[in-house]
Amino acid sequence: MASCLRILGFKCLLCGFFLQVAGEEPGSGLENGLAVATTVRGEVTLDLPDGTTRDIELHDVETLTGLEISSGKDDYAFLSLSNECALGIYKNSKVRFESYLQRPFPPDKESLEYEPSDSQLSIQLLEGSLSFSAETLSPLSRILIKLPIGQIEIHKASGRVLYDERGVQISISRGIVTYAYPGLEKEEFINGPHQLRISKQSAGIGRVAETSPEPKPLSQHTERLIQATHRANERVIFKASPEETSIPQPLLVADPEALLKPPPRPYSYLD
């Protein structure tokens, strides 16, 4: 009997521990995550929470929470994030970052293979195109892309979301995402490679407007955008700060082709 009571007490202790962890306030211990602009073409504008506007410059380091990024008809930008993911904002697009928070990680958690922490990223795609590379996302992390019709949650995937007058087109190269219909308790699980379209009308009744019965390769243009986003992810390494409570420090990685160029010589040969 005493043995049973000890086991019961131990189980209650474990239950209390898990309840305490589960009851932590969402976002507790998280700091603002970082993003580095690895590629910028044209005038990609940044609207700050204080009401000011400026252009994004190459290699700028930004905290995304509260920012809105807009691109013109020939402009685009690719961002490498401190959670080992990357985003591509293509032409004629407008993206608002509701919040991007990340838990600081110690040096012994650093890795190029997966996100060494947990992070929470919430994005609004107001119009245009947003590509993403998030195949190394931590199981503890969450990326939401909110749309005027429904929202997408990324589960370790690479792909592109396009929103225009025809609705939302979701193209997944690798991995899986979940699309949640607006106002309905219904979801679509999309495995790559696959592509589908959901119109404003079909979203209201919880149906896909256009899809293929079998997985098929994405268009060459879409695949190029996803590959460019993945390359942006490889151009920055985020190292842990010496202080474990501080945000990681971005380090640019040189393009391997730049190392293969012949060195300049201060002389030339004459016949």
Q: How many residues does the chain have?
A: 271
The CATH number for 26-247, chosen from 1.10.3720.10, 3.20.20.140, 3.90.550.10, 2.60.120.1440, is 2.60.120.1440
pLDDT tens-digit map of 157-175: 999 999 999 999 999 999 9
User: Does the pLDDT value for residue 65 go beyond 60?
Assistant: yes
102: pLDDT strictly greater than 70? yes
* Residue-range domain boundaries for the chain: 26-247
Mean pLDDT of 181-193: 94
Q: Which of 35-49, 141-155, 169-183, 206-220 has the lowest mean pLDDT?
A: 206-220
Backbone angles phi, psi at 5, to 5 degrees: -65, -40
Q: CA 34, 221, 234, 174 torsion: positive or negative?
A: positive
CB-count burial class (<10 Å; 0-12, 13-18, 19+) for 112: exposed
Q: Which is nearest to 229 in space by CA: 148, 140, 136, 153?
A: 136
